């Protein structure tokens, strides 16, 4: 009898309430991820003032949670292999909520860096599982669009963090911002436990539970035939990272890692340092924080536009255009007059933050479902080396006397490297087609 996979069935059906439920819940997870990850950059000027930290020494503070993110991205995937993506998401949300709460009571830089590192492990583990689960429940025909839409939650969380910092810093202090960042994920946890479904492939391959898969498919489409034989991939479960280099994917995997590295290096440099740099340039602290949120606003607008284009055309060409634009606008941020700085910041965010959402979606499309969590997790994990290097390198260069303008010119170079690398991915793996898996 002919078998079919859940992926094939979902591609034949219209989007259902259950699928939108997955997208929205995962968007809320990455929203809280974005709030918690980015908020320390907005609080940089306040931390520097309260604890008398020279601005060039803020780099390690900014990077502490990013080191944890890298650890979480590379290690927490094991949880998904054995316990499923739903369990992993719930566990990681609880983890970063608890350690964000402890961050609010930090008594010095050492405390702050420790709690930020441990919170980062939870943050790092939540994101690839949210991306993979969203990708699995989305039909192929709209996978890039819906994945990017979900990931816009990250930028929205960053914006909310900026608004909270701008509103509360002067009146309530930075600790209250972290308290809010801890309470919100705790409030989300009951809804995740109640409404978030498990990965269909995990139920088929690890749990051998075809009945639960049929029940879930019936919820998505009431017309689903419960007698349909479903395809398992038992011989391909528990794939190690070496599987990412098989089936002629080695070159693509390495190029994607390079793109993630370059993109995240520039993105986290901008997110973490712009409030401090804008404050040094003479903007009031509140205005500097709000100006910095334009990076995230630009990313949301770009995500809404790039997703449909990636589903319709060669996604790598769409990304290459964003990276070339990022090269121009990041460099321009250090050269334009003050009257044009807001526009340049928005355009840089459109390209840099928009490209990060798009490359996440491309990784979801590039890897087949059996290796999607591993592929996305390792790409983000390798990229985190860049996210750690960016803020630390900026602090080192500032201490060496580099100007804001020179720093922005240097930050534009990785964008150009990413444009070339993603163009090569497009030539090698996509060609005239818009999907490889």
Distance CA 15, CA 9 (A): 11
Reported as half-sphere exposure (CB side, CA atoms, 13 A), residue 392 has a value of 13
Residue scoring higher pLDDT (151 or 349): 349
The Cα diameter of the chain in Å comes to 72
378 SS3 class: helix
Q: How many other CB atoms sit within 10 Å of the CB of residue 4?
A: 12
Indicate if the pLDDT at residue 156 is higher than 80.
yes
pLDDT band with cut points at 50, 70 and 90 for residue 317: very high
Q: Which residues contact 91 (CB under 8 A, 6 or more apart)?
A: 79, 122, 125
Residue 411 confidence (pLDDT): 93
Opening angle at CA 388, ends 238 and 59, nearest 5? 155
| DSSP string for residues in 80-111 | HHHH-HHHHHHHHHHHHHHHHHHHTT--SHHH
Q: Which domains does the chain have, with CATH numbers?
A: 6-430 (1.20.1250.20)
What are 3's strand-pairing partners? none
Residue range 13-36: mean pLDDT, rounded: 91
In contact, 418 and 259? CB cutoff 8 Å = yes
Distance CA 84, CA 67 (A): 24
Q: What is the pLDDT of residues 224-260, one digit of tens each?
A: 877 777 776 543 444 578 888 988 889 999 999 999 9
230 SS3 class: strand
Q: What is the pLDDT of residues 27-57, one digit of tens each?
A: 999 999 888 877 887 787 778 777 777 766 6
Residue 210 confidence (pLDDT): 80
Question: Which of 239, 39, 60 minimizes the C-alpha distance to 123?
Answer: 39
The structure tokens 């990681």 sit at 92
Distance CA 83, CA 93 (A): 15
What are 4's strand-pairing partners? 230
The structure tokens 């930075």 sit at 174
Residue 232 confidence (pLDDT): 63
Question: Which of 324, 296, 259 minimizes the C-alpha distance to 154?
Answer: 296
Indicate if the pLDDT at residue 72 is higher than 70.
yes
Residue 331 confidence (pLDDT): 93
Is the Cα torsion angle 324, 330, 334, 339 positive or negative in sign? positive
What are the b/e assignments for 104-126, b being 16+ CB within 10 Å? bebeebeebbbbbbbbbbbbbbb
Residue scoring higher pLDDT (64 or 349): 349
Q: What Å distances lie between residue 145 and 135, 311, 375, CA to CA?
A: 10, 7, 19
Residue 431 confidence (pLDDT): 67
Question: Which of 40, 145, 41 minimizes the C-alpha distance to 357?
Answer: 145
The structure tokens 């998401």 sit at 89
Distance CA 120, CA 113 (A): 10
Question: Tokens representing 92?
Answer: 């990681």
Residue scoring higher pLDDT (333 or 376): 333
Q: What is the pLDDT of residues 282-292, one digit of tens each?
A: 788 788 888 88
Question: Tokens representing 34?
Answer: 């974005």
In contact, 134 and 23? CB cutoff 8 Å = yes
| φ, ψ (nearest 5 deg) of residue 433 | -85, 155
Indicate if the pLDDT at residue 319 is higher than 80.
yes
Residue 237 confidence (pLDDT): 46
């Amino acid at each position: 009898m002919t078998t079919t996979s859940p992926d094939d069935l979902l591609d034949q059906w219209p989007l259902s309430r259950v699928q939108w439920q997955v997208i929205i819940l995962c968007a809320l997870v990455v929203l809280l991820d974005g709030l918690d990850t980015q908020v320390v950059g907005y609080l940089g000027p306040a931390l520097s003032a309260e604890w008398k930290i020279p601005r060039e020494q803020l780099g390690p503070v900014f990077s502490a949670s990013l080191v944890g993110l890298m650890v979480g991205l590379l290690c927490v995937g094991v949880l998904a292999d054995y316990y499923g993506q739903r369990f992993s998401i719930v566990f990681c949300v609880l983890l970063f909520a608890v350690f964000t709460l402890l961050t609010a009571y930090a008594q010095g830089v050492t405390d702050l860096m420790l709690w930020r590192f441990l919170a980062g492990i939870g943050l790092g583990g939540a994101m690839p599982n949210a991306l993979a689960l969203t990708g699995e429940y989305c039909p192929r025909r709209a996978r890039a669009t819906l994945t990017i839409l979900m990931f816009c939650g990250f930028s929205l969380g960053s914006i909310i963090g900026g608004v909270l910092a701008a509103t509360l810093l002067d009146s309530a202090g930075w600790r209250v911002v972290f308290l809010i960042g801890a309470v919100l994920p705790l409030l989300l946890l009951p809804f995740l436990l109640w409404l978030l479904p498990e990965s269909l492939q995990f139920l088929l391959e690890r749990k051998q539970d075809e009945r639960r898969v049929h029940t879930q498919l019936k919820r998505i489409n009431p017309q689903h035939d419960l007698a349909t034989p479903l395809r398992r991939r038992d011989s391909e479960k528990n794939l190690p990272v070496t599987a990412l280099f098989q089936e002629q994917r080695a070159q693509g995997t390495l190029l994607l890692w390079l793109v993630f590295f370059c993109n995240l290096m520039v993105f986290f440099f901008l997110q973490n340092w712009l409030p401090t740099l804008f404050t040094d340039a003479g903007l009031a602290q509140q205005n500097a924080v709000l100006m910095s949120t334009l990076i995230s606003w630009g990313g949301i607008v770009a995500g809404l536009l790039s997703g449909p284009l990636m589903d319709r055309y060669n996604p790598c060409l769409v990304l290459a255009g964003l990276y070339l634009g990022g090269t121009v606008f990041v460099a321009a941020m250090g050269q334009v007059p003050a009257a044009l700085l807001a526009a340049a910041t928005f355009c840089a965010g459109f390209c840099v933050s928009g490209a990060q959402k798009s490359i996440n979606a491309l990784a979801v499309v590039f890897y087949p479902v059996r290796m999607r969590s591993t592929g996305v997790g390792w790409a983000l994990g390798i990229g985190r080396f860049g996210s750690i290097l960016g803020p630390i390198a900026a602090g080192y260069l500032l201490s060496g006397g580099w100007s804001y303008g020179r720093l922005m010119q240097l930050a534009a170079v990785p964008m150009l490297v990413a444009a070339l690398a993603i163009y090569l991915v497009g030539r090698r793996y996509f060609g005239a087609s818009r999907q490889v898996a």
